[in-house]
Copies of this chain bind each other. A is one copy, B any other.
Amino acid sequence: MAVTVVGSIAFDAVRTPFGERERMLGGAATHFALAASFFDEVRMVGPVGEDFGAAELEVLHGRGVNTDDIEHVAGGKTFFWKGVYSDNLNSRETLDTRLNVFEHFEPKLSAASREAETLFLANIQPALQLQVREQCTGARFVALDSMDLWINIARDALTRAIGGVDCVILNDEEIELLTGRPTVVGAARELLTMGPSIVVAKQGKYGAGLITREGTFWLPAFPLEQVIDPTGAGDTFAGGFVGYLSAHRDEELTPELMRRAMAYGSAIASFNVEAFGTERVATLTGEEIAERVEELQRITQFTDAPVALRG
């Protein structure tokens, strides 16, 4: 009765126009887990090195995340990513990537993790995503993320992985790259023919779209006057979205439910980017999230009124 997330746990070194951190807790599974923890029990699966210690676990335990399946690799070092963002935060350059213990990661899931009803396959090798998917016999809802690297070098395995999940959560450009279609709507509809019934297209600072066979929904990002560090925003969004759906797993998966899930994911992601790494989400409260969802609703609604159109 929980969400299992399998993915990277990392130390990030990040420089943005507003400051820098030389070593902060990061990784897709971390950001996802913290966000999802507002809605459901979360079990994290991923490898760390000997440099991963009490301080990092404390952040996760502070949000009630179950870390029993975090694999501590003896003699190993945690996955490390170093990047710098451009002045307007629109692009980032990777300065260093050290896979470390992530290089030979073979997901080992405990019975409890395998039996979770919700599974999120964060961005890892598609072959591993397939492996994990097969192990998780209890999963009733499975979502998957990926990246351009796997689309380019492991397209077949990724296609198979996508065929086995309910929901794909990708950037709009990744969806277009994967399908070769130039519009996100056309590309997402093609993904829907590959197995999933839900496609979420992340649009970075612009928001996200939800595409199902029944229709679409588009949610602008929560507007922020200052953004400090975009790292992990996409995984935080996914954590809120999937976590929300997991908490409502006994209800019918209606468009209204999915739209709400998008709003909660978006709200939490907007907090994530207001500070470095996990710093803001670690201290976030449910009340703050709920306020931002309300505000998001207020600033995206309009009413129509009769108008005499000429011609």
Which residues of chain A have a CB within 8 Å of any CB of chain B? 17, 37-40, 63-64, 87-89, 173, 176, 182-186, 189, 203, 206-207, 209, 215-221, 223-227, 244, 247, 256, 259-260, 262-264, 285-287, 289-290, 293-294, 297-305, 307-311
Contacts and interface: CB of A to CB of B under 8 A. Distances in A.
Closest 7 CB pairs of A and B: A286-B309, A218-B220, A259-B302, A206-B206, A186-B225, A88-B182, A185-B223
Given A299-B218, A301-B301, A304-B263, A223 B209 contact: yes
B39 A184 contact: no
B38 A309 contact: yes
Oligomer copy total:
2
Given A263-B304, A293-B304, A294-B304, A311 B64 contact: yes
Given A176-B88, A220-B209, A223-B216, A256 B310 contact: no
Contacts of A17: 182
26 contacts: A17-B182, A37-B310, A88-B173, A88-B176, A89-B182, A182-B227, A184-B223, A185-B223, A216-B223, A217-B300, A218-B221, A218-B299, A218-B300, A220-B220, A256-B305, A259-B301, A262-B302, A263-B302, A263-B304, A285-B311, A287-B309, A289-B309, A290-B307, A290-B309, A300-B300, A301-B301
